[in-house]
Structure formats: structure tokens, C-alpha cells
Amino acid sequence: MKTISTTTLTLVETKLEDFLSSLKRKHILVDTNFLIDASRNQECFSFIINSLKQNECALVAMDGVYHEFICGRKSLEDYKKMINFYERIIDSEIPFEKSIKENANTLTKVLLKRSAQISYTDILLLATLMKYHSNMYLLSKDKSDIPVFLFPIKAIIPIDSGETNYFYSIYSFDQVSYEKELEQLLKK
């Protein structure tokens, strides 16, 4: 009789607190989906927000995220609540600059080569991350809109609201992969 041996793989688990402390003094570019979920579930999201701020991370946004977040409010009171929440959470806004527009244009070409579609706000978020990649990460729950071959996931943060499980990713920018994609684009 043949014996079957099994191999058990052990995954190294990084504690969330350890990972968040590795982000010390970095800028965290926040996507609209995080603001929406955090505003609806403030108690559940307070741990991640407070942990980032305790590690001297600056939570930053861009104008498009702000407008997506406050759009569609049903009353003036709700609108004011959302602005108040935004101002409490976001430390500063990243100004739109010509270099971000140029990054967005080039990134769009790279993604079109792969037949990928992406929203206006998402392309600007990624273009902003490209510009500030040495000191910035993107926090988003988008899985299908962000091309991980250029923007790898550094960590996935689970947040349990009791009713829903949220899985947010921290994305970085891979300059080497981007340059390879540009090379391929220029060959055509």
C-alpha cells in the first residue's frame, strides 16, 4: 500500500498593527468607496482611520473623490454631514497638476493596449499615485478597476461591520513594470 504524504504550508501572517506601523509618515490616497463605507460605518472604520493617523499617515484625497463622495445627497443636512465627515477624515487634498494629467494620458494608452477600461476618477487616482509613489499608497476596495500588474497590492485590510465584510487593499506603484509596458507600447 502506498502512503500519501501531505505538506502543510504555513502562511506568514502580518498583524494589521505591524503593517500599519510600516506605513509611518506616508500619504494614504483615499478612494471614494472608503469614504462612503467609513461614513456609513464610522464605528467599524474608526480603528483603521485612527491607526493610520497614530502612525502619522496623512489621509489625502483629490477633488474628484470629494465630489463623488458628496454627490447624490438627499438633503442639505446630509450634505453638511458628509462635508463635516470628509473634513474630519481627510488631512489634505492633492492639487491637480499637469504631470498628473500626463501620467493619466500615458496610463490610459498602456491600459488600452490591454483593452482595460477605467473610470475618470480611478485613472486620476492612479496617475496621482504614480507621481507621488515614493511616499504614497492608495486605499481602495476596487478590485477590478485597478491593474495589479502596475499597482500591486501591499496588503488587504478586512473590516467587519457585523452586517458586511469589507476588504480594502493598499496599492503601490511598480515603476519597473510600468517602464516595461511603456517599452512595449513604443515598439508598436
Domain count, the chain: 1
Question: What pairs with residue 137 in β-bridges?
Answer: 28
Average pLDDT, the chain: 88
Domain contains 36: yes
Domain contains 124: yes
Domain contains 1: no
Domain contains 8: no
How many beta carbons lie within 10 A of that of residue 125, not counting itself? 31
Helices 32-40/63-70 angle, 10° precision: 40
Question: What's the CATH code of the domain at 67?
Answer: 3.40.50.1010
- What pLDDT, on the 0 to 100 scale, is given for residue 182? 86
- What pLDDT, on the 0 to 100 scale, is given for residue 118? 85
Domain contains 25: yes
Grid cell at residue 179: 517602464
Is this structure's pTM higher than 0.75? Answer: yes
Question: For residues 133 and 175, is the Cβ–Cβ distance under 8 A?
Answer: yes
Could you give the CA distance from residue 72 to residue 10 in angstroms, rounded to a whole number? 46
Residues 136-162 pLDDT 10s: 999 999 888 899 999 999 989 888 888
Could you give the CA distance from residue 150 to residue 179 in angstroms, rounded to a whole number? 10
